């Protein structure tokens, strides 16, 4: 299994540009999520999905869109990039949600810079 994969690894955008960060998992996990990591802030949840066709907002959803058309893929879209979205983005997945013995697996991250 490849686990959780993310592309691209690095990206530089100009203010106002749009782009999609890709996330895929091959573990047949129901639950997927996106976090952003900023210095001194830990990881904060952007959006999450408990299954194909179901998404919901996390702590910091503004400026981001998600969709979940398949179990495997959970792309994160930046609609109009802003410098405040400069961050490292992590995708994660787990078999299910809200139960004991449930561990999330993280992808390698995408480092995004918005100029």
Partner 1 sequence: AQSVSQHNHHVILSEAASLELGCNYSYGGTVNLFWYVQYPGQHLQLLLKYFSGDPLVKGIKGFEAEFIKSKFSFNLRKPSVQWSDTAEYFCAVNPLNYGGSQGNLIFGKGTKLSVKP
In the complex, the residues that contact partner 1 under the rule CB under 8 A are 31, 33, 35, 40-45, 48, 50, 56, 58, 90, 92, 94, 96-104, 106-109
Q: Is the peptide bond before 8 cis (omega within 30 degrees of 0)?
A: yes
Q: Which is nearer to partner 1, 17 or 58 (CB)?
A: 58
Q: How far is the CB of 81 from partner 1 (least distance, A)?
A: 22
Find the shortest distance in angstroms from Cβ 41 to partner 1: 6
CA distances from 110 to 5, 10, 11, 46, 102 (A): 10, 6, 7, 14, 24
Give Cβ neighbours of residue 43 (< 8 Å, ≥ 6 apart): 35, 36, 37, 90
Q: Which is nearer to partner 1, 14 or 101 (CB)?
A: 101
């Amino acid at each position: 299994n490849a686990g959780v994969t993310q592309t691209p690894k690095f990206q530089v955008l100009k203010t106002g540009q749009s782009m999609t960060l890709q996330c895929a998992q091959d573990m047949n996990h129901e639950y997927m999520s996106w976090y952003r990591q900023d210095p001194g802030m830990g990881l904060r949840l952007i959006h999450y999905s408990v299954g194909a066709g179901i998404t919901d907002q996390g702590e910091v959803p503004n400026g981001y869109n998600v969709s979940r058309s398949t179990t495997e893929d959970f792309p994160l879209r930046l609609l109009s990039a802003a410098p405040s979205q400069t961050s490292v983005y992590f995708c994660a997945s787990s078999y299910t949600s809200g139960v004991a013995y449930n561990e999330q697996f993280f992808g390698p991250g995408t480092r995004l810079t918005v100029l």
